[in-house]
Structure 1
């Protein structure tokens, strides 16, 4: 997979839609051009707002945008921000 395609979809599809979700605070996309692996980090005001976006179909809809680019099923994990420097 081309990481530039992943970045394009993220920039043009995911971020604009995420900005419309309640509690969305930002996003980071990490990519490895050698392996094509990407990690999306989204920041939400609360876990409840994050889950409301998922329950409302936001997550599934955006994953569908990446479907042709994915070689593995995405894994969702949740972490607390413990420190920012």
Structure 2
């Protein structure tokens, strides 16, 4: 299994709007993606910092999310809310508890 971790900074006071976008736009897109297992959106309302973690069956499935243009499509929904461009990292999951 592989994890994709997106760290972002949302304008303080806009977290609920970001959550709504996740519910309406991101979740339906993720659920239709090959190899998608699960995901979490976490954050700090005081600072606007957020971390979204998605889990994928294989490294290829996780990498395809980027090359297919779906990542850029999803990120575009948040463009007006970001205070800086998000960062993306991908890791192999060694252990699940």
Query: TM-score if structure 2 supplies the norm length?
Result: 0.82
Q: Which has the higher contact order (CA 8 A, sep 6+)?
A: 2
Q: Which runs of 4+ in 1 moved over 4 A?
A: none
Structure 2 Cα separation of the partners of residues 80 and 56 of structure 1: 20
The structure carrying a bigger helix percent of its residues is 1
Q: Which runs of 5+ in 1 are unaligned?
A: none
Structure 2 counterpart of 1:20? 32
Decide which of 52, 55, 62 is 1:43's aligned counterpart.
55
Deviates more, 1:2-11 or 1:19-28: 2-11
The structure carrying a bigger strand percent of its residues is 2
Decide which of 26, 29, 32 is 2:44's aligned counterpart.
32
RMSD (Å), alpha carbons: 0.9
The yes-or-no answer on 1:81 pairing with 2:93 is: yes
- How many residues end up aligned between the 2 structures? 85
Q: Which runs of 5+ in 2 are unaligned?
A: 1-10
Query: TM-score if structure 1 supplies the norm length?
Result: 0.93
Q: CA deviation at 1:12?
A: 1.1
